C-alpha cells in the first residue's frame, strides 16, 4: 500500500469521524455545562516518546455532557510524518453526580508507521473508564483502558524480505494487537490552563512483555473561553 493510499485512508477516516461527532454536537448544545473548546499539548511515553496536539470541546447528548476530542500524535525519532496517529475520542459520565464520578471513554484511532521491517496502517478502538474525585480545581482518578488494533495493513519492506523472510505475507491482519493499561490520571486547573498527569502500567493480551511496560504523560490544556 502506497504512502498516498495510506494517507488518503487516514484522512477519510478522520473526516467521517467528524461527521459523527457533529451529530452529537447538534443534539442539545444548550445543555453543555462548560461550552467552548480547549486545545491541549501533551508530552510523554505512551507507547513511544511522543508529542500529542489536540482539540476538545463539550457537547450534550441525552442530557449528559460529553467531552469529545481529536488529537494528532507524533513519536520521537526521524522528523517525518511516516509515523503518526490520529484519534477521535469521547469521555462521558456514567455514574455519580458531584465529586465522585465514573466516566467512560471510547475512541477510534488511525495509526501509520514506517520502520525497518514494514510499512503499516492500523485502525483501532479504545475503551476505558476513569473513577475518582473531581473537584472544580483538581481531580484524581484511577483509570483503566483497553486499546485494540482491529485492522492492520502491512507491507513488508525490502530489507526484511532480502535478509530475513522473503515470503512474508502482505495484507490486512485482524486483531493483531491489544494493550491493557492501568494507572492514575490527575489534573489541576490554573484557569484558563489545566495541567494533566497520567501514568500507569501497560500489558499485552498474551505472554510477551511490552517495552516499555509503563506510560507517563504530562499535558497542558488551554480553555478557549
Of 190-209, which residues contact another protein (CB under 8 A)?
Answer: 204-209
Query: Is residue 196 within 8 Å of 221, Cβ to Cβ?
Result: yes
Residue 35: DSSP 8-state: -
CA-only gyration radius of the chain, Å: 19
103 binds another protein (CB under 8 A): no
Q: CA-CA distances (angstroms) from residue 106 to 66, 91, 148? A: 11, 7, 11
159 binds another protein (CB under 8 A): yes
Give the whole-angstrom CA distance, residue 182 versus residue 14: 27
Q: Which residue of 39, 48, 92, 220 would you call a contact of another protein, by CB under 8 A? A: 48
Q: Which residue of 33, 136, 211, 225 would you call a contact of another protein, by CB under 8 A? A: 211
163 binds another protein (CB under 8 A): yes
43 binds another protein (CB under 8 A): no
Give the whole-angstrom CA distance, residue 136 versus residue 194: 11
Contact letters for another protein, residues 56-85 (x by CB under 8 A)? -------------------xxxx----x-x
Which stretches of the chain bind another protein, using CB under 8 A?
A: 9, 12-13, 16, 19-20, 22-23, 45, 47-50, 75-78, 83, 85, 109, 111, 113, 115-117, 120, 122-124, 147, 149, 151-154, 159-160, 163-165, 167-179, 204-212
Amino acid at each position: 500500500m502506497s504512502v498516498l493510499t495510506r494517507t488518503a485512508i487516514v484522512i477519510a477516516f478522520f473526516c467521517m469521524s467528524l461527521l459523527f461527532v457533529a451529530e452529537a454536537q447538534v443534539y442539545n448544545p444548550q445543555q453543555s455545562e462548560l461550552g467552548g473548546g480547549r486545545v491541549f499539548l501533551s508530552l510523554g511515553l505512551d507507547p513511544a516518546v511522543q508529542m500529542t496536539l489536540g482539540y476538545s470541546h463539550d457537547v450534550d447528548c441525552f442530557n449528559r455532557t460529553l467531552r469529545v476530542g481529536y488529537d494528532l500524535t507524533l513519536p520521537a525519532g526521524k522528523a517525518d510524518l511516516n509515523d503518526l496517529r490520529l484519534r477521535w475520542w469521547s469521555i462521558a459520565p456514567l455514574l455519580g453526580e458531584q465529586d465522585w464520578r465514573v466516566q467512560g471513554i471510547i475512541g477510534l484511532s488511525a495509526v501509520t508507521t514506517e520502520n525497518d521491517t514494514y510499512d503499516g496502517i492500523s485502525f483501532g478502538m479504545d475503551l476505558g473508564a476513569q473513577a475518582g474525585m473531581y473537584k472544580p480545581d483538581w481531580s484524581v482518578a484511577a483509570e483503566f483502558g483497553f486499546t485494540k488494533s482491529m485492522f492492520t495493513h502491512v507491507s513488508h519492506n525490502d530489507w526484511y524480505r532480502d535478509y530475513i523472510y522473503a515470503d512474508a505475507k502482505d495484507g490486512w491482519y485482524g486483531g493483531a494487537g491489544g494493550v491493557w493499561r492501568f494507572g492514575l490520571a490527575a489534573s489541576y486547573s490554573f484557569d484558563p490552563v489545566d495541567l494533566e498527569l497520567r501514568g500507569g502500567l501497560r500489558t499485552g493480551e498474551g505472554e510477551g512483555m511490552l517495552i516499555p511496560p509503563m506510560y507517563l504523560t504530562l499535558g497542558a490544556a488551554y480553555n478557549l473561553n
